[in-house]
Amino acid sequence: MSRIGKRPVEVPAGVKVAVQPTQCLVEGPKGKVTVNLHPLVVVKSEEGGKRIVVERKAETREARAMHGTMRALIASAVKGTAEGYEKRLEIVGVGYNAKMQGASVVLTLGYSHTVTMTPPPGVTVSTPSATMVQVNGADKHAVGQFAAQVRSKRPPEPYNLKGIKYSDEVVRRKAGKTFVSGA
């Protein structure tokens, strides 16, 4: 049996979970998240909505795989609506910066043009400094996806470490070419 799947999801105060046959709606102070349920999994609410239990309908390989996956998706939705998720990106490079223009973020990354990115609904972006971008939201997938899209506009390169990187990312630096005079 799945060790992750059999653990119940504790629902904190202020978060409401509505279980339907095909989806699970989670609503909290940070927003709303909808989790589409796999047909091989049954989700039940226990103790008046204080605990969510995930069970599988069959003992097939796919059902066992989806058991833990659905429990993890519901747990991250509950955590996201209660606390929220955040990704921080650092911009490294001379002349590279970010600024807000309405709800969109405008990136200057050494190209002949600026890059404007608009976050999806439920995701907010802020720039505490010219070289820092914060992506916040209740949906873990949406926050991570938008942060990855911002990073993909200029990934960090290993020689001068210029580009956009996650704040906790470690980029392995490579040695450049060495020139030896031949005499």
pLDDT digits (tens, 9 = 90+) for 87-137: 999 999 999 999 999 999 999 999 999 999 999 999 999 999 999 999 999
Identify whether 99 is part of a domain.
yes
Verify that 119 and 151 share a domain, yes or no: yes
Among 75, 71, 144, 153, smallest CA distance to 108 is for: 153
Verify that 46 and 106 share a domain, yes or no: no
Predicted confidence at residue 182, as pLDDT, reads 60
Predicted confidence at residue 9, as pLDDT, reads 93
Verify that 91 and 76 share a domain, yes or no: no
Predicted confidence at residue 2, as pLDDT, reads 59
Verify that 23 and 71 share a domain, yes or no: yes
pLDDT along the chain (183 residues), means of 10: 81 92 93 93 87 92 92 95 95 94 94 95 94 95 96 93 92 83 63
List 74's β-bridge partners, or say none. Answer: none
Listed residues 82, 116, 145: the one ending a domain: 82
Predicted confidence at residue 177, as pLDDT, reads 80
| Radius of gyration for the chain, computed over Cα atoms and rounded to the nearest angstrom | 22
Identify whether 134 is part of a domain.
yes
Verify that 47 and 64 share a domain, yes or no: yes
pTM of the complete model: 0.88
Predicted confidence at residue 75, as pLDDT, reads 95
**CATH number for 31:** 3.90.930.12
Count of domains forming the chain: 2
99-103's contacts with Cβ under 8 Å and 24+ in sequence apart are 99/127, 99/130, 100/125, 100/126, 100/127
Verify that 20 and 31 share a domain, yes or no: yes
The residue segments making up the domain with residue 118 are: 85-166
Identify whether 157 is part of a domain.
yes
Identify whether 73 is part of a domain.
yes
Verify that 112 and 136 share a domain, yes or no: yes
Beta strands in the chain (DSSP E): 9-10, 16-19, 23-28, 31-36, 41-46, 51-56, 85-92, 97-101, 104-108, 115-117, 123-129, 132-137, 163-166
Identify whether 173 is part of a domain.
no
Predicted confidence at residue 179, as pLDDT, reads 76
